Amino acid sequence: MITVKGLQLSFGSGSQSHQVLHDVGFSVGEGEVFGLVGESGSGKSTVLRCLAGLHRHWEGEIRIGGQALGHKLTRERCRLMQMVFQDPYGSLHPRHTIDMALSEPLKIHKMDRQDERVAQMLAKVGLNESFRYRYPHQLSGGQRQRVAIARALILEPRILLLDEPTSALDVSVQAEILNLLAELREREGLTYILVTHDLGVVVHLCDRLAVMQQGRIVDTLPSEQLSNGGATHPYTRTLIDATRNYSRVLERPQQFASP
For Mg ion, the binding residues (CB under 5 A) are: 45
Residue 45 or 143 with smaller CB distance to Mg ion: 45
Q: Angle, nearest 10°, between helix axes 141-153 and 114-124?
A: 130
The region that residue 66 occupies, defined by phi over 0 for left and psi between -120 and 50 for alpha, beta otherwise, is left
Q: How far is the CB of 21 from ligand ADP (least distance, A)?
A: 8
Give the contacts of 183 (CB within 8 A, at least 6 positions apart): none
Compose the 12-41 pattern: x for residues touching ligand ADP by CB under 6 A, - for all others: --------x-----------------x-xx
Residue 45 or 82 with smaller CB distance to Mg ion: 45
Alpha helices in 42-170 (DSSP H): 44-52, 75-80, 98-108, 114-124, 141-153
Residue 28 or 37 with smaller CB distance to ligand ADP: 37
Position 11 contacts ligand ADP (CB under 6 A): yes
- Whether residue 149 contacts residue 85, with contact meaning beta carbons closer than 8 Å, is answered with no
Phi, psi of 109, rounded to the nearest 5 degrees: -95, 10
Position 42 contacts ligand ADP (CB under 6 A): yes
Residue 14 or 229 with smaller CB distance to ligand ADP: 14
Q: Indicate which of Mg ion, ligand ADP, none lies near residue 17 (CB less than 5 to 8 Å, by partner kind).
A: none
Question: In whole angstroms, how far apart are CA 49 and each of 107, 108, 110?
Answer: 24, 21, 25
Q: Indicate which of Mg ion, ligand ADP, none lies near residue 42 (CB less than 5 to 8 Å, by partner kind).
A: ligand ADP
Q: What is Dmax (Cα atoms) for the chain?
A: 55
Position 44 contacts ligand ADP (CB under 6 A): yes
Give me the residues that bind ligand ADP (CB under 6 A), please: 11, 20, 38, 40-46
